[in-house]
Amino acid sequence: MARGKFITFEGIDGAGKTTHLDWFRQQLAAKLAAHGRQVVMTREPGGTPLGETLRGILLNQPMDLETEALLMFAGRREHLAQVIEPALARGDWVLSDRFSDATFAYQGGGRGLPRDKLEALERWVQGGFQPDLTVLFDVPTQTASERRSAARAPDKFESESEAFFERTRNEYLRRAAESPQRFFVVDSTRPIGEIRKKLEEAVASL
């Protein structure tokens, strides 16, 4: 069976990606079922027992910036080895809530870790591996802030300033401009029905 596809959902906290993630999975699963393939749903940080343990630490414990980035990539290496690569090899499609673009956006853009350090870790952990498609939910930072304030109690990233999220958003958009063949940017201020039509276009592209 041919190799599966790897799709990631990205965006700053409050961009709305979680609203569409399960719907997208259902649409994708329905299309793939006729071909005997499945959708593996996962997330970062997380995705494995080790990754979920690291998630609890990363989202709640203060730490040095470089420690934070190293832990993100350590969890990603385990995620690739235990979940993503085996699923793709057996022909399944993988849908992940965040991947390495989030590390460049949050630890790089938001926190200011030099890009060359992140690129070195990316090469080490991933080689040349990248998603087949990255759906980026883009929204103004003020809109995202209003959405976050209406959600659950914030973790340490969700508690960051609007300036932090502006830098994070800008890094996401820089990454998208750098790799337009991989990114599918969605205006997350649009009505849900309109966004889902765009997501159907994204599925069709694969």
Please state the length of the chain.
Answer: 206
Task: Say if residue 18 carries a ligand binding annotation.
Answer: yes
Task: Say if residue 15 carries a ligand binding annotation.
Answer: yes
Task: Say if residue 89 carries a ligand binding annotation.
Answer: no
Task: Say if residue 116 carries a ligand binding annotation.
Answer: no
Q: Are 137 and 187 in contact (CB under 8 A)?
A: no
Encoding tokens for residue 65? 């910036």
Distance (Å, whole) CA 123 – CA 131: 14
Q: Are 77 and 45 in contact (CB under 8 A)?
A: no
Task: Say if residue 2 carries a ligand binding annotation.
Answer: no
Beta bridge partners of 135: 9, 184
Helical residues (DSSP H) of the chain, grouped into ranges: 17-33, 49-60, 65-79, 85-89, 100-103, 115-126, 141-149, 162-178, 192-205
Task: Say if residue 108 carries a ligand binding annotation.
Answer: no
Task: Say if residue 11 carries a ligand binding annotation.
Answer: yes
Residues that constitute the known binding site: 11-18
Residues that constitute the known binding site for ATP: 11-18
